[in-house]
Amino acid sequence: MTFRDPDDNPNQNGRGSLEQLVRWRRDVRRFRADAVPDELIDRLLRLADLAPSVGNSQPWRIVNVRSPETRAAIVKNFETARERSAGGYAGDQSDLYNRLKLSGFDAAPIHLAVFCDRNALQGHGLGRQTMPETLDHSCACMVTVLWLAAREAGLGLGWVSIIDPAEVSKALDAPPEWKLVGYLLLGWPEEEHLDPELERFGWQPRTPFETRYWDTGSAPSRADAEVTQQADNSLGSVILVGAGPGDPELITLKALKALQTADAVLFDDLVAKPILDFVRPGARMIDVGKRGYRQSCKQPDINAMMVSLAREGLRVVRLKSGDPLIFGRAGEEIEACQDAGIPLSVVPGVTSAQGAAASLKVSLTNRDHARRLQFITAHDRRGHLPQDIDWSAVADGAATTIIYMPKRTLAELTEVALVHGLDPKTPTIAVANATRPDERVFISTIGAIAAELEAAHPDGPVLVMVGEALRYATVRDAAEQAEAIVAALDAIPGRQ
C-alpha cells in the first residue's frame, strides 16, 4: 500500500479508516529522498498542535533540524548509541539486532526534534502537582496526532529512540528545562507495510489484546504469571472465505457463519458491499483490495496482517470475491499462515464463472459439444498475457474456456488463440459484474469480443466464456435469452 501524494490517498474517497491509519504504522525507516513541501509540514504541525495536553499546557517544543552539520552530529550520536545498545543482546538476538535498519537518517528529508518544556507556564500547573510526568505524556499525544496526520497525507514517520538525549540537546543548544521526547524523521516512504518492521523481521510478534486489559479486581497476580504467559502465546485463526460473485444470496451458510463470528475481516475491492453487511457488528473491517493497474495493497502486506491479527488471538476472515482458491492468490496466504503456525481453514465460494452462467441460464458443459471446462487467467504477475498458456487446449472445440481478468490483454489473447486454430466464430459471452444489479452481458464470437468490450469499456470485473456449449444454451424458461444468443451468432442450432 503506497501513497505518493495526497491525490492517491484513499481516505479522500471515503475508503480509509482510522484503523487503517493506525495499522500503517509510524515506524517507517525507509524513505525516498524526494522533498516534502514546507506548506505540508506546516499544515501537519498545526494539526498536531491541536493535540490534548494536561491542563491545556501544550508543553511540546519542536525544532526543525535543517543544518547538515547538526544532522551529521545527531547521526553520529545514533551510531554510538546503537553500538552501545548492541552489547545488551547475545546470540541470534544480537545478530538480528545488527541486521535491522533502526533509523532512516540517510534519506528522510525532514528531521524534527521534539522536546518537553518542564517549566511550561501555560496551563497554570493544572494536573501537574500529583502527576508531573503527564507533561511528557502530553508531548507523546502530540506526536501521535502528528503521526496520524502524516500517514493520512501519505508521509511516513519514524520515531528514533536509540539516541543520547543529552547529546541531542547539546547539538541543538536546547534550554536546560527542555527534555527530549523524541527525534522524528518524516518523508515519502520508499515502501509501506501493514505490519511493523520489527515484527516482519522476527524481532518479536504482537501478543493478544486480552493480556493487557482487565476489569477491576481481575488483574493477574504474581501467581498468575504462568497463565498470562500461556495467554501471550495463544493464537487466533484465519479463514479464507469465498464471497461469491456478487449476489449476497449466493454466499454459503458456512461463509455466513464465519462472517458473523469474525473479530476482523480483511476484504477485497471486488467483494460486493451488501455482503459486508453480514459481518458481525464490532468486527474490525479492513479494506486490503488489490486494485488492478493502480496503487494498492501488496500481497506480502496482506499476508503479514493476517498473521499479525491472528497472533493477537483474533478470529480473522480473509474475504475474497468468488472462490478464494481460483485466481485468488490463496496459495500465498495459506503458505504464510502455515509458516507462522496459524490455524487455517478455507470456505469455498461460488465462482464468478458459475454465477455468470447461472445468471444467464447457460450450461458450461454439453455432453455432445463440451466435455471439458477450463479456467485460465489473462494476465501474469506483471499484468502481461501469460507465456505458459496451453494454446492447443484453448483452441480445442470440445472445451469451454473461462477467461478471468481479461480486460487489458483480451485482444492479444484472442489473436494468439486464433493463430493456434480457434475458430473465430466460436460463441463467446462476456459478463461484467456478474450476478450484481449492474450486470452487463455481451454476446458475440471470439473473433469480435475484444473489439466490442473495448468499445463498451464496462466498469467492474469482467470474465469471458468461450465454447460451443454456449451455442446450445436454450432452456424452457430462457427462450428470450436463447433467441438473443442465436441472433448474435446468426445460427439456429439443432435441439436435443
Task: Let me know whether 19 and 159 are in one domain.
Answer: yes
Identify the domain containing residue 139 by its residue range. 6-196
pLDDT on residue 5: 42
Look at residue 219 and tell me if it is in a domain.
Answer: no
Look at residue 1 and tell me if it is in a domain.
Answer: no
Look at residue 222 and tell me if it is in a domain.
Answer: no
Domain end point (choices 196, 218, 245) = 196
Mean pLDDT of 324-336: 92
* φ, ψ at 426 (rounded to 5°): -60, 130
Strands 462-466 and 427-432: antiparallel
pLDDT on residue 19: 74
pLDDT on residue 149: 92
pLDDT of 20 strictly over 60: yes
pLDDT on residue 481: 53
pLDDT of 48 strictly over 50: yes
Best mean pLDDT range from 222-231, 278-287, 373-382, 442-451? 442-451
pLDDT of 277 strictly over 50: yes
Q: Are 238 and 304 in contact (CB under 8 A)?
A: no
pLDDT of 30 strictly over 60: yes
Q: Are 321 and 243 in contact (CB under 8 A)?
A: yes
pLDDT of 70 strictly over 60: yes
pLDDT of 331 strictly over 80: yes
Task: Let me know whether 393 and 449 are in one domain.
Answer: yes
pLDDT on residue 220: 60
454-479 pLDDT, tens per residue?
A: 999 998 889 999 999 888 653 334 45
Poorest-confidence range of 230-239, 272-281, 375-384? 230-239
Check residues 491 and 331 and name the one with the higher pLDDT: 331
pLDDT band at 203 (very low <50, low <70, confident <90, very high): confident
Q: Is 179 among the residues known to form the active site?
A: no
Q: What is the CATH number of the domain that holds 384?
A: 3.30.950.10
pTM of the model: 0.57
Task: Let me know whether 133 and 171 are in one domain.
Answer: yes
pLDDT on residue 488: 60
Task: Let me know whether 182 and 39 are in one domain.
Answer: yes
pLDDT band at 16 (very low <50, low <70, confident <90, very high): very low
186-197 pLDDT, tens per residue?
A: 999 987 776 677
Domain end point (choices 145, 178, 196) = 196
pLDDT of 161 strictly over 90: no
Task: Let me know whether 262 and 118 are in one domain.
Answer: no
- The grid coordinates of residue 353 equal 464463472
pLDDT band at 1 (very low <50, low <70, confident <90, very high): very low
Look at residue 118 and tell me if it is in a domain.
Answer: yes
252-270 pLDDT, tens per residue?
A: 999 999 999 999 999 998 8
Q: Which position among 268, 287, 301, 396 bears the catalytic label?
A: 268
pLDDT band at 2 (very low <50, low <70, confident <90, very high): very low
Task: Let me know whether 482 and 364 are in one domain.
Answer: yes
pLDDT of 358 strictly over 50: yes
Task: Let me know whether 357 and 346 are in one domain.
Answer: no
Task: Let me know whether 12 and 142 are in one domain.
Answer: yes
pLDDT on residue 21: 76
90-147 pLDDT, tens per residue?
A: 777 777 778 777 788 888 999 999 999 988 888 888 887 788 888 999 999 999 999 9
Check residues 11 and 111 and name the one with the higher pLDDT: 111
Task: Let me know whether 322 and 357 are in one domain.
Answer: no
Q: Which position among 1, 142, 306, 405 bears the catalytic label?
A: 405
Domain end point (choices 315, 350, 385) = 350
Q: Is 8 among the residues known to form the active site?
A: no
Look at residue 495 and tell me if it is in a domain.
Answer: no
Task: Let me know whether 423 and 323 are in one domain.
Answer: no
Q: Which position among 49, 232, 285, 290 bears the catalytic label?
A: 290
pLDDT above 70 coverage of the chain, percent: 84
pLDDT above 90 coverage of the chain, percent: 51
Look at residue 203 and tell me if it is in a domain.
Answer: no
Q: What is the CATH number of the domain that holds 156?
A: 3.40.109.10
pLDDT of 437 strictly over 50: yes
Q: What is the CATH number of the domain that holds 299?
A: 3.40.1010.10
Task: Please state the domain count of the chain.
Answer: 3
Burial class (CB in 10 A: 0-12, 13-18, 19+), 198: middle
Q: Are 85 and 162 in contact (CB under 8 A)?
A: yes
Best mean pLDDT range from 111-115, 313-317, 386-390, 466-470? 111-115
pLDDT on residue 313: 86
> Mean pLDDT of all residues in the chain?
84
Look at residue 213 and tell me if it is in a domain.
Answer: no
pLDDT of 28 strictly over 50: yes
Task: Let me know whether 60 and 178 are in one domain.
Answer: yes
Q: Is 268 among the residues known to form the active site?
A: yes
pLDDT of 7 strictly over 80: no
pLDDT of 293 strictly over 60: no
pLDDT of 400 strictly over 50: yes
Look at residue 15 and tell me if it is in a domain.
Answer: yes
Poorest-confidence range of 48-57, 195-204, 274-283? 195-204
pLDDT on residue 227: 42
pLDDT band at 311 (very low <50, low <70, confident <90, very high): confident
Task: Let me know whether 241 and 281 are in one domain.
Answer: yes
